[in-house]
Amino acid sequence: MSRSHDRLSARRATRARLPLSGRGLLSAPASLARRLEHAEALDRMARPLARAVGRAVPAGAQADALHGVWLGQPVHPVLTALPLGFWTSATVLDFVPGTERASQILLALGLAGALPTAAAGLADWSALHREQQRVGLAHAASGAGASVLFAASLLARVLGRTTGGRVLALGGLAAITAGSFLGRHMAFGLGAGASHAEPVAHLAPLGWHDLCRIYELPDGRLARRQLGYLTLAVLRQGSDVMAVADQCAHLGGPLHQGSLSESPDGPCVTCPWHGSTFALTDGSVVHGPATAPQPAFDSRIVEGGMVQVRPARPAQ
């Protein structure tokens, strides 16, 4: 038993000393993506580019459209399917006789779809954390490289250099595949685009729960209150109390430290990290970059001035 345990410990120690890329060919892309997260040299390019994007697309209706506020989820991944599908189909058709004209049309459609896809991606990327932006920079570079290669492929075909065009398309497909992998790493490994709000439905049982006495809440100012495992951002206006989950759906910023504003639908809170704005009445997104609504709570005042809350139910 002791010898078996020693051999197992030795194998584990050996694996721990090996670089990730040495554990198998398939682990190399993931290892590279993780290295990109900590590549501080990329910050010299990422920071000025993010500022430039912010100036070109300031907060407002245009930015909200690019983020996907109207869709209720980031629009960039949806748009990505168009150029990726067109370009993949064009490359596959290169191996089918008599489909050169169809391949050219598909390449052109992919290039047209790449423009709004890149615009939406840059808008999202400019409002990400440092580590996400580093990987996103490589993701964008892969997409830009693929676009150049597919554009060159289309030009070569138009000029009658069909074989060269097909080779360039294969290079473009390789570049877009690498970019897609990095995009998935951002989404699944780093949580870019996912809702970061606390899972209220799992952590707050149905029914009313005591929160605090109403006189313990400052009037007209945001306050942070604990409800079991959940942290809430609470606003009292006279005898009215509104509450939403404190952890911003965009990237987890503390909403109780945000600023208040008014909209036609009532008071709003703006996240101090990236400027996402939510209606405190129902948690709906007023302005991005957040696209997922903020979990909201119904409230009531019971005997003794106790404020009770419960997870808000979806509108019928």
Instruction: Give the structural domain span for 75.
Output: 38-189
Residue that is last in its domain, among 151, 167, 189? 189
Same domain, 165 and 67: yes
If pLDDT is split at 50, 70 and 90, which confidence band does 25 have?
low
pLDDT at 26: 60
Residue that is last in its domain, among 131, 166, 189? 189
Structural domain includes residue 258: yes
Average pLDDT over residues 71-78: 94
Give, in degrees to the nearest 5, the angle at Cα 155 between 152 and 161: 100
Same domain, 127 and 231: no
Please tell me the chain's helix, strand, coil percentages from 3-state DSSP, rounded to the nearest 5. Answer: 55, 20, 30
Placement of tokens 């290892």 in the chain: 31
Separation CA 245–CA 229 (nearest Å) = 11
Q: Give the chain's domain count.
A: 2
If pLDDT is split at 50, 70 and 90, which confidence band does 30 have?
confident
Which CATH number do you get for residue 265?
A: 2.102.10.10
Same domain, 161 and 261: no
Same domain, 104 and 158: yes
Structural domain includes residue 6: no
Same domain, 181 and 213: no
If pLDDT is split at 50, 70 and 90, which confidence band does 80 have?
very high
Structural domain includes residue 292: yes
For 157, residues 6+ apart whose C-beta sits below 8 A from its C-beta are: 100, 103, 104, 107, 165
Same domain, 244 and 158: no
Residue 226, strand partner residues: 231
Same domain, 150 and 288: no
How many other CB atoms are there within 10 angstroms of residue 111's CB atom?
A: 17
- Span 174-230, pLDDT tens digits: 999 999 999 999 999 999 999 999 888 777 777 899 999 999 999 999 999 999 889
Structural domain includes residue 204: yes
Structural domain includes residue 164: yes
Same domain, 222 and 135: no
% of the chain exceeding 70 in pLDDT: 91
Structural domain includes residue 3: no
pLDDT at 201: 73
Same domain, 171 and 222: no
Tokens of 253: 């910023």
Residue that is last in its domain, among 169, 189, 209? 189
- Span 104-116, pLDDT tens digits: 999 999 999 999 9
Same domain, 127 and 52: yes
- Span 215-271, pLDDT tens digits: 999 999 999 999 988 999 999 999 999 999 999 999 999 999 999 999 888 999 999
Q: What is the CA radius of gyration of the chain?
A: 25
Structural domain includes residue 59: yes
Same domain, 159 and 42: yes
Structural domain includes residue 20: no
**Residue spans of alpha helices (H) in the chain:** 2-17, 28-37, 43-56, 61-67, 76-93, 100-125, 130-158, 162-184, 200-203
